[in-house]
């Protein structure tokens, strides 16, 4: 291995080439020229003393060494981004960037008014919103703050429970007018059900509680929560939706509330090292207040 320490930017480029499979595609997403991306990869390979990609006519294929390095490079990239966010916060007042992660439904349907009010109060604050159902790692600074639908267990996190979000079965009035309203779980059988595509821990928990909610019974399968809600609103069939969200649309009807009701524990969490960060403290407080108001209706 060469004595020269690899540049953090080279690791970022390495990750983009891994993600896109080519120098040109990586360059477009990063705002760099293809030769610059190529130099970054060449320099990183020289510094590490190993081959990271196999060049071919249809792109760059990662070597075993590259795949082994990928999680470490991702950690370096996350740390670099966190360092930039901290540096951006220095100055008078609340300022700088806060990286926030939340699920699709929370990000798109719940957070906009909360974050709009936060921005009005602190115009020098920038929000980086990661819309994902994946639990980003707060300990490795992939995000500063997370809205989670489960209790965070890591001791190094500050977590505040904001309440439980109820989830139930809903359908549009238009669909029910055309197909009838089921009065029991058995009555759901002839209806078009909307739900998951691939199983995960949440789906398995759901099926354990409601064995009839199987993939084979679904007329539309999608792993995007927002897609499922869109199809409910379009009158495609009966699906699962947050009760508080559905209550905002008078055309959506709650079905069988006594037979199907799930409470999702909702938490706001951040790394304890960010307690004294003004940008994170005000964002954390705004999320707790806004989500509490949403849950309480």
How confident is residue 86, by pLDDT bands cut at 50, 70 and 90? low
The domain spanning residue 217 has which CATH number? Answer: 3.40.190.10
Q: Within this chain, do residues 254 and 278 fall inside the same structural domain, yes or no?
A: no
Residue 179 has pLDDT above 90, yes or no: yes
47 part of a folded domain: yes
Residue 202 has pLDDT above 90, yes or no: no
* Dihedral Cα 49, 54, 60, 65, nearest 10 deg: -50
How confident is residue 85, by pLDDT bands cut at 50, 70 and 90? low
Q: What is the pLDDT of residues 247-267, one digit of tens each?
A: 999 999 999 999 999 999 999
List, as one string, the DSSP characters of 91-153. Answer: SSSS-EEEEEEE-HHIIIIIHHHHHHHHHHH-TTEEEEEEE-SS---TTTTS-SEEEESS---
Q: Which of 10-19, 51-60, 245-254, 277-286 has the lowest mean pLDDT?
A: 51-60
Q: Within this chain, do residues 55 and 143 fall inside the same structural domain, yes or no?
A: no
1 part of a folded domain: no
286 part of a folded domain: yes
Q: Within this chain, do residues 154 and 274 fall inside the same structural domain, yes or no?
A: yes
- pTM listed for this prediction: 0.67
Q: Within this chain, do residues 70 and 214 fall inside the same structural domain, yes or no?
A: no
Q: Within this chain, do residues 284 and 246 fall inside the same structural domain, yes or no?
A: no
Query: Structural domain tally of the chain?
Result: 3
CA distances from 256 to 131, 156, 160, 165, 293 (A): 30, 41, 31, 17, 25
The pair of structure tokens assigned to 39 is 């130099």
* 41 touches 52 (CB < 8 A): yes
Residue 91 has pLDDT above 70, yes or no: no
| Average pLDDT over every residue of 63-84 | 78
Outline where DSSP puts E strands in the chain: 53-56, 59-62, 96-102, 125-131, 145-148, 157-172, 193-195, 218-221, 239-242, 252-255, 262-271
175 part of a folded domain: yes
* Residue 229, number of CB atoms within 10 A of its CB: 25
Chosen domain end from 68, 86, 104: 86
2 part of a folded domain: no
How confident is residue 221, by pLDDT bands cut at 50, 70 and 90? very high
The domain spanning residue 31 has which CATH number? Answer: 1.10.10.10
Q: Which of 283, 291, 290 is nearest to 125 (CA)?
A: 283
Q: How far is CA 19 from the centre of its chain?
A: 18
The DSSP output letter for 156 is T
Q: Within this chain, do residues 257 and 180 fall inside the same structural domain, yes or no?
A: yes
Q: Within this chain, do residues 156 and 275 fall inside the same structural domain, yes or no?
A: yes
70 part of a folded domain: yes
Strands 157-172 and 239-242, by their bridges, are: antiparallel
34 part of a folded domain: yes
Query: What pLDDT score does 158 carry?
Result: 86
251 part of a folded domain: yes
SS3 27: helix
Q: How far is CA 55 from the centre of its chain?
A: 33
Q: Which domain holds residue 124?
A: 93-160+267-296
Q: What is the pLDDT of residues 33-53, one digit of tens each?
A: 888 988 998 888 888 888 988
Q: How far is CA 146 from the centre of its chain?
A: 9
Q: Within this chain, do residues 217 and 246 fall inside the same structural domain, yes or no?
A: yes
């Amino acid at each position: 291995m060469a004595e020269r320490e690899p540049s953090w930017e080279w690791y970022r480029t390495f990750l983009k080439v891994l993600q896109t499979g080519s120098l040109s595609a990586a360059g477009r997403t990063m705002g760099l020229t293809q030769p610059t991306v190529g130099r970054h990869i060449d320099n990183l390979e020289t510094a590490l003393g190993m081959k990271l990609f196999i060049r071919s006519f249809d792109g760059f294929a990662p070597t075993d060494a590259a795949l082994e390095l990928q999680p470490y490079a991702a950690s370096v990239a996350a740390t670099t981004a966190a360092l930039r966010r901290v540096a951006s916060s220095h100055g008078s007042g609340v300022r700088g960037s806060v990286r926030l992660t939340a699920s699709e439904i929370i990000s798109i349907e719940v957070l906009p008014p909360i974050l709009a009010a936060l921005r009005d109060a602190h115009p020098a604050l920038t929000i980086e919103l990661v819309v994902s159902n994946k639990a980003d790692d707060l300990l490795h600074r992939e995000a500063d703050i997370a809205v989670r639908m489960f209790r965070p267990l890591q001791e190094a996190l500050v977590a505040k429970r904001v309440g439980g979000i109820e989830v139930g079965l809903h359908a549009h009035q238009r669909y029910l007018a055309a197909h009838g309203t089921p009065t029991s779980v058995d009555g759901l059988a002839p209806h078009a059900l909307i739900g998951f595509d691939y199983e995960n821990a949440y789906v398995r928990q759901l099926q354990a509680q409601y064995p009839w909610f199987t993939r084979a019974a679904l007329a539309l399968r999608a792993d995007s929560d927002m897609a499922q809600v869109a199809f409910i609103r379009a009158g495609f069939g009966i699906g699962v939706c947050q009760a508080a969200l559905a209550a905002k649309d008078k055309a959506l009807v709650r079905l069988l509330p006594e037979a199907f009701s799930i409470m999702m524990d909702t938490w706001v969490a951040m790394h304890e090292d960010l307690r004294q960060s003004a940008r994170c403290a005000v964002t954390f407080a705004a999320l707790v207040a806004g989500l509490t108001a949403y849950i309480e209706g």
